[in-house]
Amino acid sequence: MGGRIRRRRLLWMAGGALALPAAGCGIARAVREDRGPGPARPAAPVRATALAAHDITESFVHVIAHPDDNLYFMNPDLDHALASGAACVTVCLTDGESDGRNVLHNELGRVTRADRPAYTRARINGLTAALSLLATGDETGAWDISLVSYIDGHQVEQHTLRAAPHVQLILLALVEARSVSLHRKDSLRGLWVGETPSLATLPPVRSGLPPGAGYSREQLVATLHAVLDHFRPTVVRTLDPNPEHSTKPGRTPQSAPVYLDHQDHTYSAYFAQAALARHWAGGQARAASVEHYLGYVNAVLPHNLDQAAVGRKVVALNSYGWADNRHCGDPAGCGDRKVGAGALRNGWAQSTRYRAPGSGAWLQPLTGGGLAAFALLNGTAVHWTRTGSRWTGPHRIDGTGMEGQLHALRQADGRLRLLGVRTRLGHAPADHRREIVTAVQTGPAAYGPWQSLGTPDDADPVRSMEAGYPIGLALPDGTVQVAVRSWNGSVAVRTLDGPWTVLSLPPDAGPGVQDGLGAVVDADGNSHLFAPGRTVAHWASDTPGGPLRPARPTGLPVPAGPVTARLAADGALRVHFREPRSARVLTAERRPGTAGWRVVAESAPPGGFGRVAAADGALAVRDDGGRTALRADGRDWQHDGPLLAHTPALASDADGRITAAALGCDGHLYTARQPVPGAPFGTWGQAG
């Protein structure tokens, strides 16, 4: 260990070695590296050279605001990316310098000298230790540190893990907001909305970054754009761009909501979205999916990870928090003592959630046989079509700015209809909004154009940002009902040609429900909506196409996440959801002619988190390895398939066999199929 420490200290003093682009990028983009001791100085551009080619096609870029964000909110997905051997890059926008006091949580009242550059370095030391631990099993792994310019006139501190050079960290060292919600012009928020023309950097101790530098809004977007062009990711992960507001009054300007997340998280996501739009428009991007992760709100939601997953997160956070008091050779400190050994204290580590809860309905049968699968790649909807045993695609559906995951349904006329969310980026709150959009099948393999359905709070762009992700119902008379979570924490519904109506909350739902709705039409043609709250909240109509009202309380256990609804062959209503803290899948049903709900099945724990996909007795979920777990007719879980983006889907063929679909982290569609109805699933193969 001593040799590694000495090498690491020498690298800090000398400026480090050449920063290599991540494996699998397959590009050669010019960047600059400044070598030598002392302050950074101009250097002639050098062309970055790719690492040796191999068969790993994924590439991951994580954009975070503070040095611990990916460990708290993006793990275990971060862990799976690091373990894959694919390029795995973390871009940290701010120092996270806080008050500059690196003390244990229970010592926060103790008077200590503030040293923000040292505290920043300690936090970066903690993050590199945790990343090294996850990637190699050794938290003391040496990192090569270089100064790299992605745009002229600006340098970043780029760290490359020597034992696994596909793992990199890029630090821009911007100052943080130093407040969760209080507005400061010198912040990512102030930079985005134009309250400050430039946001300063605060170089950590022993950094060659020039003091007093700053980024304009354009320069920050351009830097992130250049990073994306350089690494050409197939998966981009950001924090939550649409956090939920608090119902408690806060100390913000009048009428501005207080959100259940850190403002730096939100605005780091906005900058990432702006850079992604440019990256995709440039024509050189690879097919990429995007995932946004909930932040501080996890503390007040049911914990959705099992104990094994929580334990693995805690190991990484303990390394970041310097819980072992290890000696790393840096007088600034070896980690963030504010986290220390208290990773579970704030309730963030026990959950991982996507802002878009996903839909198991993105795989649908086609009229006359075959299947269609839908996904969002590079902010655009795409689809694949299976005819016989052959898949074709992906085929692009015109339209940009899409996010989350698509929901597909079959109308009474046999055509497929898509529902999704589109965000319009803007720097002024009045220009920044989101909307629910829909497109319908216009031919055997053609869809569009997209039609805006607005949001339940369309008159207020700020409130529109909290609209949920849509789910739809196709009624026998041809009507399509669309449902989303609304600003007030309830559910709103509309038909394609009608207004939004916000529904009253069922009395057992609690103060509000979470996103992750389920919907089904029963054997009598009545509509049913379900949502995760203090129990499974339920709304129903009394007549086909009639108004939805709170139904009789279900009395079901609290869900850990989204609720999936199905109509069984015998007419029973069934819902599937995860159990908190165990990740088990619970199945509950209400039999025809009865009013009560009961849990009728509890699966063996498959691990993982997120929505359950269901079809004719089969289940599909994300598992603890970040892949797909499949269960056919009560059999054991099958754990296999590609490293997964978003959520898996299931659909029945015309012959009764079920096909499972998963979007891989490499941007390809993968499927597995039952050889006969009810049998275990066959092997996974790439479609198209």
Beta bridge partners of 687: 669
Q: What's the pLDDT at 661?
A: 98
Q: Which of 5-14, 334-343, 469-478 has the lowest mean pLDDT?
A: 5-14
Asked if residue 221 has pLDDT above 60, the reply is: yes
Is residue 228 within 8 A of residue 280, CB to CB? The reply is no
pTM beyond 0.85, yes or no? yes
Q: Which two tokens stand for residue 136?
A: 């190699």
Q: pLDDT confidence of 211, banded at 50, 70, 90?
A: confident
Asked if residue 527 has pLDDT above 50, the reply is: yes
Compute the half-sphere exposure of residue 199: CA atoms within 13 Å on the CB side of its CA: 27
Computed over every residue of the chain, the mean pLDDT equals 90
Q: What's the pLDDT at 448?
A: 87
What amino acid occupies position 116? Answer: R
Q: What's the pLDDT at 679?
A: 96
What amino acid occupies position 238? Answer: T
Q: What's the pLDDT at 595?
A: 87
Q: What's the pLDDT at 248?
A: 75
Q: What's the pLDDT at 48?
A: 30
Is residue 578 within 8 A of residue 559, CB to CB? The reply is yes
Residue labelled with tokens 């692009």: 396
Residue labelled with tokens 């440039």: 282
Residue labelled with tokens 């079920």: 658
* Range 164-187 average pLDDT: 97
Which tens digits make up the pLDDT trace of 404-443? 999 999 999 999 999 999 999 999 999 999 999 999 999 9
Q: pLDDT confidence of 109, banded at 50, 70, 90?
A: low
Residue 16 or residue 456, greater confidence: 456
Nearest-angstrom CA–CA distance, 550 and 151:
55
Q: What's the pLDDT at 16?
A: 30
Asked if residue 27 has pLDDT above 50, the reply is: no
Domain boundaries, given as residue ranges, for the chain: 2-320
Q: Which two tokens stand for residue 357?
A: 């809860």
- SS3 string, 496-535, reads CCCCCEECCCCCCCCCCCCCCCEEEECCCCCEEEEEECCC
Q: Give the three-state DSSP class for 672.
A: strand
Asked if residue 215 has pLDDT above 70, the reply is: yes
Q: What's the pLDDT at 164?
A: 97
E strand intervals along 378-502: 380-387, 390-397, 402-410, 416-424, 433-443, 446-447, 451-454, 471-474, 480-485, 491-495, 501-502
Fold of 2-320: Rossmann fold (3.40.50)
Q: What's the pLDDT at 153?
A: 94
Q: Which two tokens stand for residue 667?
A: 């941007």
- Of residues 598, 576, 596, the one with CA closest to residue 587: 576
Which tens digits make up the pLDDT trace of 652-678? 988 899 999 999 999 999 999 999 999
Q: Which of 34-48, 211-225, 300-314, 389-403 has the lowest mean pLDDT?
A: 34-48
Percent of the chain beyond pLDDT 70? 90
Is residue 526 within 8 A of residue 520, CB to CB? The reply is no
Asked if residue 347 has pLDDT above 80, the reply is: yes
Nearest-angstrom CA–CA distance, 113 and 332:
13
Which tens digits make up the pLDDT trace of 559-616? 999 999 999 999 999 999 999 999 999 999 999 989 899 999 999 999 999 999 999 9
Q: Which two tokens stand for residue 38?
A: 């002392």
Beta bridge partners of 158: 146, 170
Q: pLDDT confidence of 31, banded at 50, 70, 90?
A: very low
Which tens digits make up the pLDDT trace of 153-167? 999 999 999 999 999
Backbone angles phi, psi at 393, to 5 degrees: 125, 180
Q: What's the pLDDT at 50?
A: 30
Q: What's the pLDDT at 688?
A: 75
Backbone angles phi, psi at 64, to 5 degrees: -125, 165
Percent of the chain beyond pLDDT 90? 85
Sheet bearing 491-495, strands edge to edge? 471-474, 480-485, 491-495, 501-502
DSSP H or E run through 220: helix 217-231
Q: What's the pLDDT at 250?
A: 56
